[in-house]
């Protein structure tokens, strides 16, 4: 009976727990209730604002906050579950189970509640993520609809009829209504504030220009006295120009906020128009400053683009004119919203702006195509090649033709988008190029450190060598170079939706596109190809930087540098291949299984290839043979030109290339004449008549050898009598060469001079008598 009573009691407890779990699951703390309410409210707001781009931006930010809150709650629930599971495990190991029965049941109840909270948090997290995905899709759809919206074509009579018969006659009435609204709302002070703001911004710009010109003149005199190179001087001058262009922008924004602390950025409001005017003016000033710093139309000595004065003026004037047209169109578009003009007026203004920009760009491209190449003068730093303009010309023509065709066919928004993105991207690319040039001037050599008093003092303070400081500057420059390139890539692709309210290109590049979205659009194969191409490009950039910038400043010889570059290159390609196969769904562990399955076939059919591959890795690691060594392999002598993982390329003296499998370099005898000593001893045997005067002979042999420009003075050449034979005296002249590649030519020149002097001195050659 006691056992039956205990069983009934346990069953009753389990039944109570089963009935209590749903109630516990529904009895949430205020944070979870607030989270569910926030998700529901954001979902309703997204449905209501699905036609407003800026409203969806706000919903997106809310969704991201809800996702972060859901993740935090789930982490707390997981921590509680882990704690309770550990507590139950300790209770289970107790010596007296009956004494801890109540504590165990309490822990089980709390564990069940924690698991219920964890399930709820997971559902809330999935709901918030679904909300974010839905908002992102709404924004993409809205962006596509606005971009591909069809409007009346300017080639159709209906467009001009609507513009001239309906829209233009209403302009006077709309302006009158705008004047009434200004009087009713007492907006005269706001308009006066905008005017004052623009005047102050222009005054600040003038002051910064004057200060910048003075700084530029002082910098020019300083560089002349200090002997600073033209490239570094041009980079600093470009930074001064950029500072002149950027300085008025934050000052104008600060003044705008100070003049009106209750700004209204809603479309059509006076504040929104004021912001558009100030932003457009700031954009024009900034773009003009970037172009001026890039091409320096009046000063070739600080020009960062290797073009002549005419091409520099064309680039600067055309870019500035396009910026003015584009900014004026943005301001007028905002004004049409404020004045409630007909939509066709804004479309007509956009058409005129796009066609004007296309005309300016086409004219500039034609003039640049017929421009003569610049004269190579020592005053021009030539930081960027002139061929860069020619390489960008096809892209510029494509944008010009496409934008003009779009507006003529009725896709006005698409045409404006293309020309606007081209202008913004061009200015940003020019800015990035200037920054990269400035970053490239940061590295200093060991000699520069020794000559500079400040750098030398820095080395003495931190007890570092000048070469170490030079290498550190190169590494810092490389890291900054990579950061600038990555940042500019995001900046260039980020402003695709800038015209629709997005001000942070890093946060939402390409409208929230993820890797999963790319896989859905391109497919697994397309994404794998894209990954492979990006990996190959990154590998080549890394190896190029090592080869040209970093390794030449180290103590490694040419062979060691080549080995490092080869290993890095093959390692990058292997990593790229594994990553690309991972995009196709291939697990790296499965590659090991496949390799094991093919090991038998490799052992029989590909044995020599695998052997050469392994031998190549050994050669690159042990470096018994290096690039540039003079070697003899199986009777063939030449200089090592290239070492790959399968074979080694050796250039012989008769200008032929010898391809040697790497296995021969490991398994056979290789004579490396320059492995431990770069000097090469030349041996020239001679057979002279027995009656030769030895003293005269020695003087001729040694003087000719010592005066030859390719013979080293230390160790000095020697002439040795090797053998007195029946056919004459066998001599051997030994000397060390400076240029190892000119060994045969040196031998020939020495023999020719000796033969001439022997004839003058009456010295006869020996040898066996003719048969």
pLDDT, residue 318, reads 92
53 or 640, greater pLDDT: 640
pLDDT, residue 144, reads 76
Nearest to 361 by CA among 424, 302, 421, 422: 422
Q: Which of 120-134, 259-273, 643-657 has the highest mean pLDDT?
A: 120-134
CA–chain centroid gap for 163, Å, is 47
Same domain, 396 and 453: no
Per residue in 464-493, pLDDT (tens digit) is 787 787 888 888 888 888 888 877 777 666
**Whole-prediction pTM:** 0.64
Residue 326 lies in a domain: yes
718-725/728-737 β-pairing: antiparallel
Residue 236 lies in a domain: yes
What is the distance between the alpha carbons of residues 131 and 44, in angstroms, rounded to a whole number? 10
Say if CB 746 and CB 710 are below 8 A apart: yes
Give the mean pLDDT of 711-716. Answer: 84
pLDDT band at 617 (very low <50, low <70, confident <90, very high): confident
Helix (H, G, I), strand (E, B) or coil at 639: strand
* Eight-state DSSP code of residue 231: H
What stretches of 598-675 show up as alpha helix (H) in DSSP? 599-605, 607-622, 662-667
647-652/657-661 β-pairing: antiparallel
Helix (H, G, I), strand (E, B) or coil at 728: strand
Say if CB 658 and CB 643 are below 8 A apart: no
Give the mean pLDDT of 108-120. Answer: 84
**CA geometry: angle 524, 529, 530, nearest 5 deg:** 95
Nearest to 621 by CA among 684, 563, 536: 563
Distances (CA, A) of 254 to 248, 251, 271, 287: 10, 5, 14, 20
Give the mean pLDDT of 12-35. Answer: 54
**CA geometry: angle 728, 731, 736, nearest 5 deg:** 165
Looking up tokens 């000595």 gives 301
Give the mean pLDDT of 482-510. Answer: 57
Cis peptide bond N-terminal to 715, omega within 30:
yes
Number of domains in the chain: 6
Give the mean pLDDT of 580-593. Answer: 66
Tell me which of 556, 572, 597 is where a domain ends: 597
Residue 383 lies in a domain: yes
Residue 498 lies in a domain: yes
pLDDT, residue 503, reads 38
pLDDT, residue 6, reads 43
Same domain, 559 and 658: no
Nearest to 442 by CA among 223, 232, 227: 232
Residue 323 lies in a domain: yes
Looking up tokens 């960062």 gives 304
Pair of tokens at residue 166: 């309906």
Per residue in 171-183, pLDDT (tens digit) is 887 778 777 766 6
Distances (CA, A) of 200 to 194, 253, 255, 289: 10, 11, 9, 19
What is the distance between the alpha carbons of residues 281 and 275, in angstroms, rounded to a whole number? 10
Region for 634 from its dihedrals, namely left if φ exceeds 0, alpha if ψ lies in -120 to 50, beta otherwise: left
Nearest to 553 by CA among 470, 497, 492: 470
What is the distance between the alpha carbons of residues 351 and 330, in angstroms, rounded to a whole number? 12
pLDDT band at 499 (very low <50, low <70, confident <90, very high): very low
* Eight-state DSSP code of residue 692: -
Q: What is the mean pLDDT of the chain?
A: 75
pLDDT, residue 524, reads 65
Polymer length of the chain: 771
Say if CB 629 and CB 648 are below 8 A apart: no
Say if CB 500 and CB 53 are below 8 A apart: yes
554 or 719, greater pLDDT: 719
Say if CB 576 and CB 536 are below 8 A apart: yes
Say if CB 243 and CB 285 are below 8 A apart: no
Say if CB 416 and CB 500 are below 8 A apart: no
Residues 644, 647, 650, 654: what is their CA dihedral angle, to the nearest 10 degrees? Answer: -130
Same domain, 490 and 395: no
Pair of tokens at residue 546: 């090592």
Q: Would the pLDDT of 716 be above 50?
A: yes
Say if CB 28 and CB 116 are below 8 A apart: no
Same domain, 280 and 330: yes
Residue 562 lies in a domain: yes
Helix (H, G, I), strand (E, B) or coil at 718: strand
Say if CB 140 and CB 511 are below 8 A apart: yes
Same domain, 128 and 61: yes
Same domain, 131 and 219: no
- DSSP H or E segment with residue 135: helix 101-147
Same domain, 297 and 228: yes
pLDDT, residue 190, reads 54
What CATH code is carried by the domain that includes residue 687?
A: 3.30.70.100
Q: How far apart are the first and last CA of the chain?
A: 134
pLDDT, residue 256, reads 55
What is the distance between the alpha carbons of residues 300 and 304, in angstroms, rounded to a whole number? 9
Residue 158 lies in a domain: no
pLDDT, residue 324, reads 92
pLDDT, residue 353, reads 92
442 or 135, greater pLDDT: 135
Same domain, 451 and 423: no
CA–chain centroid gap for 36, Å, is 42
Looking up tokens 């001439």 gives 756
Same domain, 460 and 327: no
Give the domain extent around 687: 680-761
728-737/657-661 β-pairing: unpaired
CA–chain centroid gap for 87, Å, is 52
What is the distance between the alpha carbons of residues 24 and 26, in angstroms, rounded to a whole number? 5
Q: What number of CA atoms fall less than 13 Å from residue 403's CA on the CB side?
A: 28
Say if CB 736 and CB 712 are below 8 A apart: yes
Same domain, 741 and 629: no
Average the pLDDT over each of 359-368, 530-539, 601-610, 673-682 and give the range with the smallest value.
601-610
Q: Would the pLDDT of 7 be above 50?
A: no
Same domain, 303 and 407: yes
Helix (H, G, I), strand (E, B) or coil at 633: strand
Average the pLDDT over each of 70-74, 347-351, 669-673 and give the range with the smallest value.
669-673
Say if CB 639 and CB 651 are below 8 A apart: yes
Give the mean pLDDT of 249-261. Answer: 58
Rg (CA), the chain: 40
Same domain, 23 and 115: yes
Read off φ and ψ for residue 403, nearest 5 degrees.
-65, -45
Per residue in 60-94, pLDDT (tens digit) is 888 888 888 888 888 888 888 888 888 777 776 65
Tell me which of 597, 624, 655 is where a domain ends: 597
Per residue in 310-331, pLDDT (tens digit) is 888 888 899 999 999 998 888 8
Residue 56 lies in a domain: yes
What is the distance between the alpha carbons of residues 61 and 50, in angstroms, rounded to a whole number? 15
What is the distance between the alpha carbons of residues 549 and 470, in angstroms, rounded to a whole number? 11
């Amino acid at each position: 009976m006691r056992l039956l009573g205990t069983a009934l009691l346990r069953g009753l407890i389990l039944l109570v727990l089963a009935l209590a779990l749903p109630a516990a699951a529904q009895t949430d703390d205020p944070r979870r209730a607030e989270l569910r309410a926030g998700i529901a409210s954001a979902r309703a707001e997204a449905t209501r604002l699905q036609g407003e781009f800026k409203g969806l931006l706000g919903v997106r930010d809310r969704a991201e906050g809800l996702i972060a809150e859901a993740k935090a709650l789930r982490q707390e629930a997981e921590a509680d579950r882990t704690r309770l599971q550990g507590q139950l495990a300790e209770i289970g190991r107790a010596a007296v189970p009956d004494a801890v029965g109540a504590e165990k049941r309490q822990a089980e109840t709390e564990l069940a509640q924690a698991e219920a909270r964890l399930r709820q948090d997971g559902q809330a997290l999935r709901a918030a993520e679904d909300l974010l995905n839905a908002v992102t899709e709404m924004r993409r759809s809205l962006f596509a609809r606005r971009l591909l919206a069809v409007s009346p074509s300017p080639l159709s009579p209906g467009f001009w009829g609507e513009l001239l018969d309906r829209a233009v006659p209403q302009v006077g009435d709309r302006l009158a209504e705008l004047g009434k609204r200004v009087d009713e709302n007492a907006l005269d002070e706001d308009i006066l504030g905008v005017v004052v703001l623009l005047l102050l911004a222009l005054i600040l710009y003038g002051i910064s220009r004057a200060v910048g010109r003075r700084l530029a003149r002082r910098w020019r005199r300083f560089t002349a006295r200090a002997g600073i190179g033209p490239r570094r001087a041009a980079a600093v001058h470009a930074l001064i120009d950029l500072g002149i262009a950027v300085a008025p922008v934050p000052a104008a924004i600060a003044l705008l906020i100070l003049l009106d602390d209750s700004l209204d950025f809603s479309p059509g409001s006076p504040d929104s128009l004021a912001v558009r005017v100030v932003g457009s003016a700031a954009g024009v000033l900034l773009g003009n400053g970037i172009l001026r710093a890039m091409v320096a139309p009046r000063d070739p000595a600080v020009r960062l683009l290797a073009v002549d004065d005419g091409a520099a003026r064309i680039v600067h004037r055309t870019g500035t004119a396009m910026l003015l047209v584009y900014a004026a169109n943005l301001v007028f578009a905002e004004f049409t919203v404020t004045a409630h003009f007909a939509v066709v007026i804004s479309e007509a203004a956009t058409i005129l702006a796009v066609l004007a920009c296309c005309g300016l760009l086409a004219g500039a491209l034609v003039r640049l195509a017929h421009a003569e190449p610049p004269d190579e003068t020592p005053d021009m730093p030539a930081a960027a090649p002139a061929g860069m303009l020619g390489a960008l010309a096809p892209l510029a023509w494509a944008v010009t033709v496409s934008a003009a065709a779009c507006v003529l066919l009725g896709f006005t928004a698409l045409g404006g988008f293309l020309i606007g993105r081209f202008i913004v991207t061009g200015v940003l690319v020019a800015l990035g190029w200037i920054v990269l040039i400035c970053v490239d001037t940061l590295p200093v050599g060991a000699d520069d450190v020794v000559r500079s008093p400040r750098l030398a003092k820095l080395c003495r303070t931190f007890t570092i060598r000048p070469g170490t400081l030079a290498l550190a500057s190169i590494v810092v420059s490389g890291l900054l170079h990579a950061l600038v390139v990555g940042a500019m890539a995001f900046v260039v692709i980020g402003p695709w939706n800038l015209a629709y309210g997005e001000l942070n290109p890093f946060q939402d590049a390409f409208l929230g596109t993820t890797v999963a979205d790319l896989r859905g659009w391109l497919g697994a194969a397309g994404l794998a190809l894209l990954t492979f191409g990006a990996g190959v490009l990154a590998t080549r950039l890394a190896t190029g930087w090592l080869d040209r910038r970093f390794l030449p400043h180290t103590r490694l010889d040419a062979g060691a540098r080549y080995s490092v570059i080869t290993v890095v290159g093959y390692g990058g390609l292997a990593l790229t291949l594994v990553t690309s196969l991972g995009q196709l769904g291939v697990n790296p562990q499965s590659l090991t299984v496949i390799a094991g399955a093919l090991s038998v076939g490799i052992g029989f059919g590909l044995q020599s290839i695998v052997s050469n591959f392994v031998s190549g890795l050994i050669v690159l690691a042990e470096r018994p043979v290096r690039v540039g060594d003079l070697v003899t392999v199986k009777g063939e002598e030449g200089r090592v030109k290239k070492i790959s993982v399968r074979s080694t390329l050796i250039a012989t003296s008769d200008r032929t290339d010898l391809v040697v499998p790497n296995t021969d370099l490991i398994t056979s005898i290789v004579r490396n004449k320059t492995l431990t000593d770069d000097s090469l001893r030349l041996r020239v045997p001679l057979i002279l008549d027995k009656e030769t005067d030895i003293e005269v002979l020695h003087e001729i042999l040694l003087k000719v050898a010592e005066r030859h420009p390719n013979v080293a003075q230390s160790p000095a050449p020697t002439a040795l009598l090797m053998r007195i034979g029946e056919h004459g005296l066998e001599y051997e002249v030994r000397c060390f060469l400076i240029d190892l590649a000119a060994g045969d030519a040196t031998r020939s020149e020495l023999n020719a001079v000796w033969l001439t002097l022997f004839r003058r001195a009456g010295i006869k050659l020996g040898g066996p008598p003719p048969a």
